[in-house]
Amino acid sequence: MNLLGGHSRVSQQRSAKNKKNRTLRVRNRGARERALIEAAAKLFADQGYEHTTTREIAAKAGCAEGLISRYFKGESGLLRTIVESQIAQKPSTPAPLPASIQEEVRRLVEEEVQHLWDDREFLKMVIPQMILSPSLGREISQIPDRRAVKIVERLRNYKEAAGLSSDELNAFATSIIGLGFLFGFWRPVTLGQEREASKRMAASMGAILSRAF
Amino acid sequence: MNLLGGHSRVSQQRSAKNKKNRTLRVRNRGARERALIEAAAKLFADQGYEHTTTREIAAKAGCAEGLISRYFKGESGLLRTIVESQIAQKPSTPAPLPASIQEEVRRLVEEEVQHLWDDREFLKMVIPQMILSPSLGREISQIPDRRAVKIVERLRNYKEAAGLSSDELNAFATSIIGLGFLFGFWRPVTLGQEREASKRMAASMGAILSRAF
Amino acid sequence: MNLLGGHSRVSQQRSAKNKKNRTLRVRNRGARERALIEAAAKLFADQGYEHTTTREIAAKAGCAEGLISRYFKGESGLLRTIVESQIAQKPSTPAPLPASIQEEVRRLVEEEVQHLWDDREFLKMVIPQMILSPSLGREISQIPDRRAVKIVERLRNYKEAAGLSSDELNAFATSIIGLGFLFGFWRPVTLGQEREASKRMAASMGAILSRAF
Amino acid sequence: MNLLGGHSRVSQQRSAKNKKNRTLRVRNRGARERALIEAAAKLFADQGYEHTTTREIAAKAGCAEGLISRYFKGESGLLRTIVESQIAQKPSTPAPLPASIQEEVRRLVEEEVQHLWDDREFLKMVIPQMILSPSLGREISQIPDRRAVKIVERLRNYKEAAGLSSDELNAFATSIIGLGFLFGFWRPVTLGQEREASKRMAASMGAILSRAF
DNA sequence: GATGAATGAGCCTTCATTCAT
DNA sequence: AATGAATGAAGGCTCATTCAT
């Protein structure tokens, strides 16, 4: 009941009983945002974005549900924030070049497998959204494409790479990335193959590919 | 029989028990089930299972919403029915063996690319669910695994295949399937790469792989 | 937990316990719509549109909240429906013409006062919305404008009306409507004047106006 | 002093108790209060009280949201402050009496129309609340009632007014106020009639009314 | 004193399922 | 057998207020 006698829809004066057993408030926006992002990323990966409620995210992050809307403009904004920060991620320092291209190919395959496995939480989270939204897919494709460019550059350091045209080299690098996806993420995570078996298969295939030179 | 035109298993179970008025009833029920399956498969692929309402499915199929619960025990049963019928699908007739293993490898890659492209609607539909449900992933992994076995069998017809161990051959076949997935589905559909570019990359890679022998 | 192991956001299978103590379902869409309209009109008038929750409307109408969205496209659609049906209302049968224009003026004022009093629930409901939305105001202004035209027509039946120009006659009729609004609605309902006092004032003013001829 | 520039009663109460640093503090607090009142009055009139958030008010006033609770005991207190200051408003200096009562009646109508037009922002703000709260309506009705008394007093200066009883005179004055409301606020602001057309209608009606004497 | 981060109750809406017709 | 009206349990979001800083 407000000033004018009407029932206010929103302003129900918080009664005295709420003063007790209230959680201590902390003021730290940055930490709250990070907690929400972390909680959401985990839940999105585990249950899927569609099955994750803002209630769950807030509970896991230990803060109020309303902050999701306020900080990220809604649940979808939270997803977008996570995706964008992942896309913007800086590349790691490159490994030293092995002596032979065969060695390098094997190493690349192994590295990609590991990399995709490390990113599995992110992939589980975004793949359903990529399928729904072509534009998101295109945005995310920057990640493997940039990696492919890096691989081509590395392979060009070996004289044997001269035997392949630019397009072939590009297809080769893209395929290495793809095999990383396949054996690092797709088969172990999505198809449920045992991870060690996946890695062995990848290593076999790396060895076979290295013979292309 | 393709996914979207497949006979529903439910309709086959039920068709026997209607003794009277059989022709009419069977035709009606079967037709309705097929209409629902077809409508659902299209909508699930386009909008995702999570964003497809039973209302939409019924509207597109031209029948009442309640039938989804009645025939398929709910929306999820409809998805299950579709997935199961796809898994149970009979393999198509194999192509004749080319003269050289190089030719065969190139052909296999191309065939896989085409195959995964043809199945893109199904994949778009199930991938988000596979990520959510390891058991579904394991079930679906039967499909590529059976194909890999077939590929191994075919490659064994060439003497050059003897140079690879059984594990290597298996990894090789699995990788071919994976490249089919990569260039037939993943890159064109999910990452938004132009389909022809994807096919060219796949052909390049097929050529490179064929040199492994 | 659904088919795929994920938690469905919406499809929580209704457990068996709900089968008991469920209200009997009646299938009568028209009656439901009318009940909702009636309940909403009353609540909107009493508490204001902004302070009326769909929960309250549904409870008062004795049906499920979701129907408001389904039938009227939301709470606002319910308001729109009510307003439109009021605007479209057929005019009542006109009273017989009194012998003198003086009598007619007094009668008109009285009639308008009564009319606006009768419509007070509707006015209480729409006025806040009219103030918010100019377009709604313009739409609703059709009601008094049509009434003013009718009044002008009636007055033209008396030779004394010839003493007023068309504009004057129009202003006169509009003022009669306005006095009806003033003493029939505004003062008794909004300013809290005692209704009988309002009516007496209106009668006084009617008498004074009648001397204009 | 106009509504939107009026001194807050709260600020005057508080201004005394700050002994130290008075000038600065008083100026700041008073200025903030005035800024909040001004911002709120504008927003309440434009969007309605119900649709105005404290966030918006604070943003427009250029100060912190929390001050609304602190200074005015919440958003509703802000509205109450505005309304009370308007009700308490001093009457303006009366115009000189024209030679004829006819002239005076025409002048009064015109004056009222202008007056209600000037107050339109205030009316847009309070009308929805008046409809919700009879007590607020009664409080606000002081404003037109006091004006009606003033009009009666003025009319009594003319001998022609003696032809009307006290009640009639009162009804006449109240009707003039009502026509001011009708043509100065209701029709142009709420019904969307063009303002000049409203004024012309009012002038016509003023002329007609003046013939009552 | 002033700020604005944080709270959390409550709102409208959606939608799979049920069941009277 | 088929329909679609009705249900009701969440879900995301808003926003006045509180209170740590």
Which pair of structure tokens corresponds to residue D167?
């009640």
pTM of the model: 0.85
Neighbour-count burial for B106-133, b at 16+ CB within 10 Å, e otherwise: bbbbbbbbebbbebbbbbbbbbbbbbbb
C22 Cβ contacts chain E strand, under 7 Å: yes
- Burial of A92-102, coded b for 16+ CB within 10 Å and e otherwise, reads eeeeeeeeebb
Residue A68 lies in a domain: yes
Nearest CA distance, C200 vs chain B (angstrom): 59
Q: What is the pLDDT of residues B33-53, one digit of tens each?
A: 999 999 999 999 999 999 999
Q: Are residues C106 and C82 in the same domain?
A: no
What pLDDT is stored for residue A210 in this prediction?
A: 92
Q: List, in sequence order, the alpha helices (H) in chain C.
A: 29-47, 54-61, 66-72, 75-87, 101-118, 120-132, 134-140, 142-155, 166-180, 195-210
Write the burial class of residue C157 (CB in 10 Å: 0-12 exposed, 13-18 middle, 19+ buried).
Answer: exposed
Q: Does D84 touch chain A (CB under 8 A)?
A: no
Nearest residue on chain D to A10, alpha-carbon basis: D50
Is residue A109 within 8 Å of residue A212, measured between CB atoms?
no
| Closest residue (CA to C1') to nucleotide E1 in the complex | D25
Q: Give me the mean pLDDT over the B104-118 stretch.
A: 97
What average pLDDT does range D118-134 have in this prediction? 96
Rounded to an integer, what distance in angstroms lies between the CA atom of residue C38 and that of residue A118?
60
SS3 string, chain B, reads CCHHHCCCHHHHHHHCCCCCCHHHHHHHHHHHHHHHHHHHHHHHHHHCHHHCCHHHHHHHHCCCCHHHHHHHCCHHHHHHHHHHHHHCCCCCCCCCCCCCHHHHHHHHHHHHHHHHHHCHHHHHHHHHHHHHCHHHHHHHCHHHHHHHHHHHHHHCCCHHHHHCCHHHHHHHHHHHHHHHHHHHHHHHHHCCCCHHHHHHHHHHHHHHHHCCC
Q: Is the CB of D54 under 7 A from strand F?
A: yes
Q: What is the per-residue pLDDT for A213?
A: 83
Share of chain C above pLDDT 70, in %: 88
Report CA-CA distances (Å) from D205 to A20, C169, D105: 65, 9, 10
Cβ contact B–D (≥3 pairs, < 8 Å): no
pLDDT at C1 over 50: no
Q: Is residue C148 part of a domain?
A: yes
pLDDT at position C27 = 79
**Domain boundary residue among C87, C116, C139?**
C87
C154-158 CB contacts, 8 Å cutoff, 24+ apart: C154/C94, C154/C97, C154/C104, C154/C108, C155/C101, C155/C104, C155/C105, C157/C97, C158/C100, C158/C101, C158/C104, C158/C213
- Out of B55, B87, B119, a domain closes at B87
**Quick check: C8 and B76 CB within 8 A?**
yes
Residue in this structure with the two tokens 């009663």, named with its chain if needed:
D9
Which nucleotide's C1' sits nearest to the alpha carbon of A23?
E7
Q: Sort out which chain D residues have CB atoms less than 8 A from C126's CB and list them.
A: none
**In terms of domains, do C120 and C205 share one?**
yes
pLDDT tens-place string over residues B139-153: 999 999 999 999 999
Q: What is the CA radius of gyration of chain A?
A: 24
Handedness of CA A49, A53, A59, A65 (dihedral sign): positive
Q: Are residues A126 and A63 in the same domain?
A: no
Asked whether the beta carbons of C117 and C184 are under 8 A apart, the reply is yes
> What are the chain B neighbours of A187 within 8 Å (beta carbons)?
141, 174, 178
Are residues B171 and A212, on separate chains, in Cβ contact within 8 Å? no
Is B210 in contact with B108 (CB distance < 8 Å)? Answer: no
Which residue is closest, via its CA, to the C1' of F2? B64
What is the structure's pLDDT at D16? 38
Of A124, A201, A211, the CB nearest to B171: A201
How many CA atoms does the CB half-sphere of A55 hold within 13 Å? 3
Cβ pair B79:C11 closer than 8 A: no
On average, the pLDDT of chain B sits at 88
Q: Do C53 and A6 touch (CB under 8 A)?
A: no
pLDDT (0 to 100) of residue B17? 40
Looking at the fold, whether B109 and B30 belong to one and the same domain comes out as no
Least confident among B117-126, B172-181, D87-96: D87-96
* Tens of pLDDT, residue by residue, chain A (213 residues): 333 333 334 333 333 333 333 455 677 889 999 999 999 999 999 999 999 999 999 999 999 999 999 999 999 999 999 999 999 987 788 999 999 999 999 999 999 999 999 999 999 999 999 999 999 999 999 999 999 999 999 999 999 999 899 999 999 999 999 999 999 999 999 999 999 999 999 999 999 999 888
- pLDDT at residue B83 above 90? yes
Q: Is residue C115 part of a domain?
A: yes
Asked whether residue B93 is assigned to any structural domain, the reply reads no
- CB-nearest partner of A174 from B127, B192, B201: B201
C15: pLDDT strictly greater than 70? no
Q: Closest Cα of chain C to A50: distance in Å? A: 8
**Residues of A whose CB is below 8 A from B193:** 141
Q: Give partners of B (≥3 CB pairs < 8 A).
A: A, C
Asked if D185 and D136 sit in the same domain, the reply is yes
Check D77 against A2: CB less than 8 A apart.
no
pLDDT at D89 over 50: yes
Nearest CA in chain D to A8: D50
Q: Looking at residue C24, what is its pLDDT?
A: 57
Chains B and A touch (3+ CB pairs under 8 A): yes
Q: Which protein residue's Cα is closest to nucleotide F12 at C1'?
A: A54
Q: What's the pLDDT score for residue B10?
A: 38
Can you tell me the mean pLDDT for B206-210? 94
Do D79 and D22 lie in one domain? The reply is yes
DSSP classification of residue C140: H
Strand E bases, protein C-beta under 7 A: 1-21
pLDDT exceeds cutoff 80 at C160: yes
Residue C146: other Cβ atoms inside 10 A = 12
**Of the residues B87, B117, B134, the one at which a domain ends:** B87
Name the DSSP class of A65: T
Put simply, the answer to whether B207 touches A131 (Cβ < 8 Å) is: no
Answer for the pair C210, C106: CB distance below 8 angstroms, yes or no.
yes
Q: For A160-199, give one letter per residue: b (16+ CB within 10 A) or e.
A: ebeebeeebbbbbbbbbbbbbbbbbbbbbbbbbbeeeebb
Q: Which residue in the block uniquely carries the two structure tokens 């096919």?
A: B199
pLDDT band at D122 (very low <50, low <70, confident <90, very high): very high
Among residues 22-81 of chain B, which lie with CB inside 8 Å of chain C?
Answer: 50, 74-77, 79-80
User: Which nucleotide is closest to the Cα of D55 by its C1'?
Assistant: F15
Average pLDDT value for residue range D10-28 = 42
Tell whether A17 is covered by a domain.
no
Nearest residue to nucleotide F10, by CA–C1' distance, is C10
Q: Is the CB of C81 under 7 A from strand E?
A: no
Q: Is the CB of D66 under 7 A from strand E?
A: yes
- Reply yes or no on whether the pLDDT at B90 is more than 90: no
Cβ(C94)–Cβ(C154) below 8 Å: yes
C-alpha to C-alpha distance for D106 and D174, rounded to whole angstroms: 15
**Position C121 in a domain:** yes
Question: Cβ distance A39 to A10 under 8 Å?
Answer: no
Residue nearest to nucleotide F11 (CA to C1'): A53
Number of residues that this document lists for chain B: 213
Instruction: List, for residues C168-207, the tens digit of each pLDDT value.
Output: 999 999 999 999 999 999 999 999 999 999 999 999 999 9
Q: Which nucleotide's C1' is closest to A65 (Cα)?
A: E8
Q: Which of residues 57-76 of C touch strand F (CB under 7 A)?
A: 63-67, 70
pLDDT score, position A121: 96
Judge whether B99 and B26 are in contact, CB under 8 Å: no
Using an 8 Å CB-CB cutoff, list chain C residues near A6. 47-48, 51
In this structure, the answer to whether residues C113 and C199 fall within a common structural domain is yes
Same domain membership, residue B61 and residue B106 = no
Give me the B residues in range 96-115 that sit within 7 A (CB) of strand F.
Answer: none
What letter represents residue B20's amino acid?
Answer: K
Cα C176 to chain centroid, rounded: 19
| Element housing D61 (H / E) | helix D54-61
Tell me which protein residue sits closest to nucleotide E5, measuring alpha carbon to C1'. A27
Contact D76 A5 (CB under 8 A): no
A142 touches chain B (CB under 8 A): no
Residue B129 forms contact with C (CB below 8 Å): yes
Q: For residues A106 and A74, state if they share a domain.
A: no
- Does residue C8 belong to any structural domain of this protein? no
Distance between CA atoms of B51 and A50, rounded to whole angstroms? 9
Residues A17, A18, A23: CA angle, nearest 5 degrees? 140
Per the structure, the complete domain to which residue B127 belongs is given by 101-210
Same domain membership, residue B164 and residue B111: yes
Judge whether A176 and A111 are in contact, CB under 8 Å.
no
Using left for φ > 0, alpha for ψ between -120 and 50, and beta otherwise, residue D21 falls in left
Asked whether C and B share 3 or more beta-carbon pairs under 8 angstroms, the answer is yes
Task: Write out chain C residues lying below 8 Å of A9, CB-based.
Answer: 50-51, 53
Cα distances (Å, whole numbers) of residue D147 to D2, D170, D178, D207? 17, 11, 11, 20
Residue C13 forms part of a structural domain: no
Are D50 and D105 contained in the same domain? Answer: no
B78 with B120, same domain: the answer is no
For the segment B181-192, the average pLDDT, to the nearest whole number, is: 98
How many domains does one find in chain D?
A: 2
pLDDT of residue C92: 83
Using an 8 Å CB-CB cutoff, list chain B residues near A170: 201, 204
**DSSP secondary structure letters along D88-124:** TPPPPPPPPPPSSHHHHHHHHHHHHHHHHHHTHHHHH
Residue D132 to residue A8, Cβ atoms within 8 A: no
CATH of the domain at D57: 1.10.10.60
